[in-house]
Amino acid sequence: MEDHLPQSVRVERRPVTESESRRANGPDWDRYADEYQATHGAFLGDAGFVWGPEGHTEDELRVLGDVAGLDVLEVGSGAGQCSRWVRTHGGRSYGLDLSHRQLQHSLRLDAETGTSVPSVRATATALPFATASFDVVFCSFGALQFVSDIDDAVAEVARVLRPGGRFAFSVTHPTRWMFPDDPGEPGLTATQSYWDRTPYVEVDDASGVVSYVEHHRTLGDWVRLLTAHGLGLTDLVEPEWPEHHDRVWGGWSRLRGRLTPGTAIFVAHAARP
Ligand SMILES: C[S@@+](CC[C@H](N)C(=O)[O-])C[C@H]1O[C@@H](n2cnc3c(N)ncnc32)[C@H](O)[C@@H]1O
């Protein structure tokens, strides 16, 4: 969250619409993309698949299963690192992201690695793909917690998945929302209600314009959302902080990670006919 906080913004918790969220987050990711890739690019790996700040990879967790020969969509693909990993493992992956600048980084990595991820600029709530196009849809901290109309986003995933298809996504672990977003001691004391879904909002001090938004859903909210769209939950992976991992990413740190989960990876399947 506050990983990228410039000095001229103030933080609030207040309701925001889908269009406000999108108007804020697209330009925010455009502004932040260069710094994000410079700071985290080596950790992510140009053709690497990392599920979260704990550093667990798809090679370790095997959340997607064998992707060879499958049609795969990554929603909130950023510079396409995960989708590039899928390509190197025989999958036909495609990227989708709201941020033009993130997609420019994806093109740069396509050229540098020689593995291209065809990508489109679009939003998670209106996927520009035909019904039943993909065997797998996934997000690694991409898009879902930035979307207000999450019902539309999950409905879109359910629509583009083929029968029996898999939806896997990582988000900030819902229990983290009780704590200040601080990697140090202050981040260990619960200060706000787990059940308060009021979005985290950054507002530009000078203009009063909303410049960044994140949305919170509880564990139960996610289960109900998936079920409502015919996606049956088959796993909930809560990766433990690795023994020798010492990297701080925003509010994620060894201090907190050894006590509380920082990432939740949901795995669900579309029904078979
Ligand atoms: C934390 S980054 C994750 C990207 C990539 N998975 C990674 O690990 O670097 C979140 C991405 O979600 C994208 N995003 C935010 N809101 C979105 C939306 N409504 N639709 C599609 N992408 C969105 C951002 O532009 C950003 O690239």
Alpha-carbon distance of 261 to 259, in angstroms, equals 7
Q: Divide the 273 residues of the chain into consecutive groups of 10 and give the mean pLDDT of each group.
A: 67 93 94 97 98 98 98 98 98 98 98 98 98 98 97 98 98 97 96 97 90 96 98 98 96 97 98 88
Which of 146, 149, 152, 172 best tests ligand 1's pocket when mutated (most atoms within 8 Å of CB)? 146
Tell me the C-alpha distance between 33 and 100, whole Å: 9
Spacing, Cα 97 to ligand 1 middle (Å) = 6
Ligand 1 neighbour 22 (Cβ under 6 A): yes
For the CA of 50, the nearest atom of ligand 1: 8
138 lines ligand 1 (CB under 6 A): no
User: Cα–Cα distances in Å, from 211 out to 5, 32, 258?
Assistant: 10, 11, 32
Q: Using CB atoms within 10 A of its CB, is residue 158 exposed (0-12), middle (13-18) or buried (19+)? A: buried
What is the predicted pLDDT for the residue at 8? Answer: 86
Residue with tokens 């190197």: 88
**Quick one: pLDDT at residue 143?**
96
- Check the CA dihedral 206-207-211-215 and report its sign: positive
Does residue 111 come out as left (phi exceeding 0), alpha (psi in the -120 to 50 range) or beta? alpha
Residue 154: Cβ within 10 Å count: 25
Query: Does the beta carbon of 158 sit less than 6 angstroms from any atom of ligand 1?
Result: no
Instruction: Quote the pLDDT of residue 208.
Output: 87
Segment (H or E) for 179: none
12-39+47-270 under CATH 3.40.50.150, yes or no: yes
Cβ of residue 264 lying under 6 Å from some atom of ligand 1 = no
Q: Report pLDDT for 71.
A: 99
Nearest residue CA, atom 27 of ligand 1?
78
Q: Whose CA is nearest to atom 26 of ligand 1?
A: 78
